[in-house]
Amino acid sequence: FGSRARLKQIGFVAHAGRWKMKLQSALHILFLLVVRCSGTDDILAMLQSSLRVKTSSNSSSETDTVQSAPDVATVSSLENLVLNRVKDGTLKGDVKLTASVNASIKKMFTSIIAATGSNQKLMRASVRAFKKCKTNMWANYRRALPLEKKHFMIARVYPKCITAENALRLELQRVKKTYRTAFNIFKNNKRLMKAKGKGCGNVCTNHKATENYHEQLQRLYDFYGKCKKKLIPISKRLESAKKLFKKESAKQAVSDAKYKAMKKKCLTMAWMMNTRKCQAVGRLKGGCKGYQSCWKTATRNYYRNKRAIMKEERNMKIEWRGLKRIQCYLQVIDDKPVKDAKGKKMSNKAVLNSCIKMKRPSTKHLKIYYGRIPKKPKCPRDPWCPCTASYVKNVYTKGPRSRCWKNLRKYRCAACR
C-alpha cells in the first residue's frame, strides 16, 4: 500500500517525543541548579531557556512528531520562584523585567498553542490512516472487478458453447454412420461386380480346328453381349455407390473439422474462464493481506500517538495554568494600579492573595480531539477458487465437469494453493 510509508513516518512519534522530553528534562535540571545561585535575572533566563527548548521542538512539527511544551517541573519551579520573589519584594518596581517576562510568557503561550495544533493535526493524520487503508483496499477491489467481469461474461456463454459442441458431436456421429453405410455399399457392389465378371467364364480359347475367323468373332460377340446384360445393372449400382461414398466422405471430413474446432473453442473458454477467476482470487487475496497489515500498523500508531499526546495535553494544561498565575503575580511587581470588580484600587497584598486563590484558568482551547478508530470493514474475498467443489457445481453446469482441470492442459490455480 502507498500509505505504509506514511504510517511508518507516524510511527516515529513516540521515539522523537521521548528524545525531546529527555533533552528538556536535562535542560530544566540545569535551569533549576542555576536558579539556586543566580540573581534577579534568573526568572527571565528560565523563561527564555524554556522558550528556546520549545522553539527547537516546534521546528520538527512538519515531520509528524508529538509536540511538547516546557516541562511541568520547570513551570512549577518558575511559579514558586516568582511567588517567593514577590513576597520578598525583591523584584518590586522592576518594570523592565516585568515587561520582558510577560513577553516571554506570551511566546510560551504561543508555543503551547502551536504544539496543541500540531498534536491535533497528528491525531487527525492517525485517524486518516485508517481511511487510507480502506481506500487502498477498495481500490484493489476495483482493479479485480474487470477480471471478475471477464470471467462472468465467459461463464455466461460457456453453456451455449457446450450446447453447440454437443449438437456438432451428434451431427458427426450421424454423418459417420451414413459414411460407413455408403462405404459398405460401395465395397459390396465392387465385390459383386468382380464375382459376376468371373461368372461370365473365359471364351478366349482358340478353336482353329473347328471354327473360322468369322465364327470366332460371332462367338465372342454373343458371349460379351450376354455378359454385358448381367454386369450393366451392377455397374450402375457401383457407380452410384461410388458417388455416394465420395459425397459422404467429404461430409464426414467437414463435420469432423467443425466438431474439433468447436471442442477446442470450448476448451479455450474453460481455460480463460479459470484463468480470469484465478487472477481475481489472487488479486483479492494479496490486497486483503496488505489491508490487514496496513490496519494493524495504523492501529498500533494510533494508540502510541494517543498515549503520548494525552500525556502532553495534561502537561500543557498544567503549564498554561501555571503561566497564567505567573502573569497574575507580575501585577504586583509592575506597580500598575489593579482594581477589583467594584472599581476600587487593590493593594499588592490583596492582589497577591487573589492570585493565590484565583479560579483555575480555562484550558478548553488546549483540548485535543482524538477521534475514534473506525469500524473495520470486512475485506472482500472471492469464495470460488477455480476447480473447487462449489466452483465446479455453479460454473460447469453443462458439459463434463472434468473440463475444469483438463482443458487445454492440466490446470491448477497458484492462488488457491
303-327 pLDDT per residue, tens: 999 999 999 999 999 889 888 888 8
Q: What is the DSSP string of 13-48?
A: HHHHHHHHHHHHHHHHHHHHHHHHH--TTHHHHHHH
Specify the DSSP element, H or E, that contains 91. none
Cα→Cα distances 378→115, 132, 288, Å: 36, 15, 9
Handedness of CA 40, 43, 44, 50 (dihedral sign): positive
pLDDT at residue 63, rounded to an integer: 42
| Residue 371 region by backbone torsions, left for phi larger than 0, else alpha for psi between -120 and 50, else beta | left
Distance CA 366, CA 384 (A): 53
Distance CA 155, CA 147 (A): 12
> Residue for cell digits 508529538?
66
pLDDT at residue 218, rounded to an integer: 77
pLDDT at residue 185, rounded to an integer: 92
Q: What is the DSSP string of 283-328?
A: HHHHHHHHHHHHHHHHHHHHHHHHHHHHHHHHHHHHHHHHHHHHHH
pLDDT at residue 161, rounded to an integer: 93
Query: 15 and 305 in contact (C-beta within 8 Å)?
Result: no
Cell of 382: 472471492
Residues of the chain with pLDDT under 70: 1-95, 201-209, 333-343, 348
pLDDT at residue 69, rounded to an integer: 54
